Amino acid sequence: MWIFAITENEIKEDSMSMVFPKGLPVLLIKKAGEIYAISNKCAHMACALAGGTLDGYTIECPCHDWKYDIRTGEFLDAKEIKIQVYERKLTDGEIHIKIEEEVGW
């Protein structure tokens, strides 16, 4: 299901914005005019990536310096470890995130 997250003009180039579609912590990142949507939780100890550093297409966790590719969610030191990457779409200036509906919602 597609959930409204934020309007496009609320996020600036090379910046991050936290949203909570369906209560999930999702970090939106605008890079080179593209919007990326990743989990805000580091795979290591669930630290909030929103406090991290963005360098190109890499985000570094503020807790233990784990680095992820914002396009794929891959941990750069071990590509088999990933954080969730969400599909996103832009419709009439609104950014929507695709959230898989789970049983019990």
pLDDT tens readout for residues 27-68: 999 999 999 999 999 999 989 999 999 999 999 999 999 999
Asked whether residue 105 is assigned to any structural domain, the reply reads no
Asked whether residue 21 is assigned to any structural domain, the reply reads yes
- Residue 38 belongs to what domain range? 2-98
Asked whether residue 75 is assigned to any structural domain, the reply reads yes
Asked whether residue 46 is assigned to any structural domain, the reply reads yes
| In 9-105, beta strands by DSSP E | 15-19, 26-31, 34-39, 53-55, 58-60, 67-69, 74-75, 78-82, 88-91, 94-98
Residue-level pLDDT at 100 = 83
Asked whether residue 104 is assigned to any structural domain, the reply reads no
Asked whether residue 89 is assigned to any structural domain, the reply reads yes
Domain count, the chain: 1
Residue-level pLDDT at 49 = 96
Asked whether residue 41 is assigned to any structural domain, the reply reads yes
Asked whether residue 31 is assigned to any structural domain, the reply reads yes
CATH number of domain containing 86: 2.102.10.10
- Taking only the tens place, the pLDDT of each residue in 78-105 is 999 999 999 999 999 999 999 986 544 4
Answer whether 67's CB lies under 8 Å from 48's CB.
no
